[in-house]
Chain A
Amino acid sequence: MDVLLQQILNGLILGSLYAMVALGYTMVYGILELINFAHGEIVMLGAMVAVSVLALLTALGVPVPLALLAALTAAVAVCVATGVLVERVAYRPLRNAPRLAPLITAIGVSIVLQNLAMIFWGRQYLSFPPVLDIQIYEFAGATITNVQILIVAVAAVTMGGLLLLVQRTRLGRAMRATAQNREVAGLMGVDVNRVIAATFAVGSALAAVAGLLIAAYYGIAHYNMGFILGLKAFSAAVLGGIGNIPGALLGGLLLGVIESLGAGYIGDLTGGFLGSHYQDIFAFFILILVLIFRPSGLLGERVADRA
C-alpha cells in the first residue's frame, strides 16, 4: 500500500469537508467583514440534528435513502433557522458598532449554541447509525471506501451549486454587489438586509450538509466538535484568501492535505519527538504563517488593510 498516496487521498477527503465549512466563513466575511465565530457551532448543530433524526428514523424502519434525505432536510432547516436568527439578534444591531463588538457577541453566541447542544443532547458522543454498507476499493495502491466517495461527491455537487448561485443568479449578483459596497448596492435597489440574511442562510445550509458528511466521515457527532472544526475551516479560508470563494475551496483542500501529510510524517521529521497527536496544531501554524507573510491569502487580490 502506498502510504504517500493514501495520505494525500485522506487529506483531499478531509479537505473537501473543510472547504465546505470554510465557504460559510468566507461568504460572511466577504459581505460583512465579520468573522462569524458561531459558524463552527452551526456545523455541529447540523451534525447533531442529522445523526439524531437518522438514528430515530432507521430505528422506526424507514428505508435508508429516505431517512438520509429526511436527516439532511432536518439539519438544513435547523441550521438555516439558527444562522438567520443569530444574524438578526447578535450581528445586525451591531453592524455600525466598533469592530470588536460583533466579534465578542459572536463568541458569546458560539458558547450559547455549544452549551445548549450539551444540555439538549448530553455530553456523550452520538454515533452515526451504521446504515451504509462500507465497501473498500483499491485504487493505485491506496484504499477508499464508498462512503468516502459519497462524501466527496456530495461536497463537490453542493459547492458547484453554490458557485452557480453566486455567479449566475439574481441573488448571487446582489450578494456580490453588497460585498463590494454595501451603501451603493442599497442605492441600486438591493435590499441589503435581505441579502445578508440570505448569505447567512446559504452558509448555514452548507454547514448543515457539511455537518452530516463530517458525522458520516468520523462516525460520531459531539457537542464539542464545532469549535476546533470552525477554527480549522477559518484557517483554510484565510489560507485561500478570505472573502474569495475559489480561495476557500483551494484553502480547504490544501489544509486537509497538509494536515494529513503532516500527521503522517511529523514523527519521522522530528525523530519521534512530536507524534501524530499534534495534528491539530498545523492549522494554527499555517494560519499564523499566512497572516504574517501573506495576509491576503493565496488567491486574495486585495491586500488586507492593517489598520
Chain B
Amino acid sequence: MAKLSVNPTRMQLRILKKKLIVAMRGHKLLKDKRDELMRQFLILVRENNVLRQEVENGIRLANASMAIAGNVMQKQVLDVALMLPKQELQIEMEEKNVMSVLIPSYTIKLKTNNTNDIYSYGYAFTSSELDDAIKALSDVFPQMLRLAEVEKSCQLIAAEIEKTRRRVNALEHVIIPQYQETIKYIKMKLDENERGTITRLMKVKDMILAQAHGYNQ
C-alpha cells in the first residue's frame, strides 16, 4: 500500500495520528448512515413496487374504457368534452429530511371539493365509457400521487446511498490504510534514527575515553 510522501518527523506523526482518528470516526459514521439509508430504501422500494403495480393496473382499466370511448364518440366531441376541465389541482410540497436526503411529500389542493367536478361535460353527447375512464383515473390518482412521492424518494435515496458507499469504501480501503502505513513508516524511521544516535554516542564516548585515558574498552 502506498504511503504518503511526508517528512518522517515527530510533528507529522502527531498530525497523521489525529487524521487517522478523524478518518476512523468518519468511516464509522458513514457506515451507519449507509446502513440506515439502505433500510429506509428497502422499505420504500417495496412500497414502490406494490404501488406501481396498482397504478399500472388502474391506468390500464382507464385506458381500456378510454379506448372504447374514443371509438364510440367522434374525436371532436371527445376533445370538446375534455377541453375545459372544472377541476383544478395544485400541490404543496414539503421536504422531509431522512439522513440528510430531502425526500418530498405532497399534499393536493383542489379548486372545488365536489367529487363530481371531474366530469367537465354535460352527459348528453358523451358515452358512458368516458365517464368510466375518468372515474377509473380519479380512483387511481391518490395512488399515483403516492407513487410519485415514493419513486422520487427512492431515486434520491439511491443516489445518496451510492455516494455514501463510495465514501465508505474510499475511507476503508484507501485513506485509512494509507495513514496507517505512513504512521508505521514514520515510527520506524524515528526508531532507526534513535538507534543511530545511540550508537553514534557510544562510539563518541569510546573515542573520548580513548583520548583521555589511552585505553580501549
A binds B: no
Q: Which residues on A are within 8 Å of B, measured CB to CB?
A: none
Q: Which residues on B are within 8 Å of A, measured CB to CB?
A: none
